[in-house]
Structure 1
Amino acid sequence: MDALFGNIQIFDDQGSLLLFFGESSKMNPGGFSLPNGIFIDDANKIYVADTYHGSVQVFQYLSVGG
């Protein structure tokens, strides 16, 4: 999570980038204003808490490939 630029970056155990999403913005879906917490549940849902928006956005990670 990069709070300054308002985006989320997810890496694998070896440090390779798996997923990058979000932007610093007002109240747009997928936009963040100082994200400060992240949680991924067993169903691969990604919960992101946002400080200034006072909200939690939920995303679904869909793996591709085999």
Structure 2
Amino acid sequence: MLTMSTPVEQKVKGRPPGSVFAAPFPMRFTVAQMEAVDEWRRNQPDLPSRTEAIRRLVEEALKAKRL
């Protein structure tokens, strides 16, 4: 018995076009630092990932330094 398959849209792999990122920057945190990051991110309305939380914290620190 031959069945007809339904076409499925293939998901595009990779980052969206136009995104520009620098090379990965591996670093280590102390347990206390990671706990502080986790506490900060739990207080955010969208609960960012650890990586996104660290990006936001760095951006906030850089903005504060510019003032």
Same fold (TM over 0.5): no
Q: Which structure shows the higher strand fraction?
A: 1
Q: TM-score, length-normalised on structure 2? A: 0.20
Larger Rg: 2
